Amino acid sequence: MSVKIGYLGPKGTFTKLAVDAAFNGDDKISFKTIPQCIDAVNNEEVHIGVVPIENAIEGTVHLSIDYLVHQVRLPIIAEIVVPIQQNLLVHRDFAGELLDIKEVHSHRHAIAQCQQYIHKFLPQATIHYTNSTGSAAEMVSANGNPIAAIGNTLAAEEYNLNIMEENIHDYPNNHTRFIVLAKNKELVKINHSTDLERTSLLITLPEDRAGVLHQVLSAFAWRKMNLSKIESRPMKTGLGNYFFIIDVDEPYDDALFPGVQGELEALGCKVTILGTYPVYKLACK
């Protein structure tokens, strides 16, 4: 059986680079948006979906986490981390200078990763947000105007663009985490080794209970469980209502995690496990 893998496309996105680094051979199907990709896994149009979740410079990809929490709950089966290098891509026929570029197109995370570069070298350009860096590159290749896209070298290749400036992201240690979603975890086969396992929890706090966040964190702290991320997001039910995503750098087990869950539930919290999964730090071609 050929395993169908959905990803945030079109061709030439960073998500495609992550998919190519992790999976070989299988059917790879691009989706225009993150929700469309997640829906496709849920509707069983594809077996696996890969979407970005967090970037080292710009932080969480809110669209992915919010869609997973509020719209479609699918388990996280694995995580792929790849290095991110942003480049300024222009049409093959563009022969001007940086100051001739009227518009810069890209995904909002890519624009944010190059904020200082744009501020310094492209102050005249207007910013246009796209669904992905790949769709920005596609747009530039179809357009003769003096415009540019921010994206990777695969996009330059796929859309026959010139790389006008390389490595334009503002901070050198740039990586993005991608999550792998699937209903059947047996279909997710990543042939790389890893010694890191992570568990992601969704926690909602009881209303108006002084010090409860401190108590939540202590439940992990005294068990010496290593948290790699804590993030709050609006519940979308009114001002001041938030949920927390907590990543623990340990696989789910039958002792510590049920202990934490019981303790948090006794405090009036609601705890949901979003996934317990291996983390693969991979290089891209």
Ligand X SMILES: O=C(O)C(=O)C[C@]1(C(=O)O)C=C[C@@H](O)C=C1
* List of residues contacting ligand X (CB under 6 A): 8, 13-15, 52, 55, 61, 84, 107, 109-110, 132-134, 176
How far apart, in whole angstroms, are the C-alpha atoms of residue 67 and residue 272? 15
If the CB atoms of residues 22 and 110 are measured against ligand X, the closer one turns out to be 110
Q: C-beta of 197: minimal distance to ligand X in Å?
A: 23
If the CB atoms of residues 156 and 216 are measured against ligand X, the closer one turns out to be 156
250-258 long-range contacts, CB within 8 A, separation 24+: 250/197, 250/198, 250/199, 250/225, 250/226, 251/197, 251/198, 251/199, 251/276, 252/199, 252/276, 256/223, 256/225, 257/199
If the CB atoms of residues 91 and 107 are measured against ligand X, the closer one turns out to be 107
Q: C-beta of 84: minimal distance to ligand X in Å?
A: 5
Q: C-beta of 87: minimal distance to ligand X in Å?
A: 12
If the CB atoms of residues 7 and 220 are measured against ligand X, the closer one turns out to be 7
Q: C-beta of 199: minimal distance to ligand X in Å?
A: 23
Q: C-beta of 265: minimal distance to ligand X in Å?
A: 33
If the CB atoms of residues 56 and 273 are measured against ligand X, the closer one turns out to be 56
If the CB atoms of residues 61 and 188 are measured against ligand X, the closer one turns out to be 61
Q: C-beta of 223: minimal distance to ligand X in Å?
A: 32
